[in-house]
Amino acid sequence: MNQLLQEALISTHHVQHAAIIKRRDGAIKAKSPLLELSESDYNKILLAFDNPREVRTNEAAITLMDVAYRAVRADNLSLYAKNVSETVMDCNNVERSIA
């Protein structure tokens, strides 16, 4: 799975960090080597999938590696958030993937 993340996402240079999280039990199945997911960040991302309305209404509802992201779209299958200065975070829920 780590090889899949590297080949499909990180090698494009559009994504710096990625992870695949299994929805059923919340297990991290794969992640990029430099991705540091604190327990707080991890819980906020899981909560965003369980309650997408919350992250759509709160301006800085998600942080990842101490960078605040504003949700631009969220539902129970995907999460799109943008760092005000530059970056887009795209989380799609096949299992639960964070890219």
20-32 confidence digits (pLDDT tens): 877 778 788 888 8
31: Cβ contacts below 8 Å, ≥ 6 apart = 2, 5, 17, 18, 19, 20, 37
Q: Could you tell me the pTM of the whole model?
A: 0.66
The structural domains of the chain, ordered by start, are: 2-98 (3.30.450.30)
42: Cβ contacts below 8 Å, ≥ 6 apart = 21, 26
**So what's the pLDDT on residue 93?**
55
Spans of the chain, pLDDT less than 50? 94-95
**So what's the pLDDT on residue 20?**
80
Which of 39, 60, 47 minimizes the C-alpha distance to 91? 47
**So what's the pLDDT on residue 84?**
64
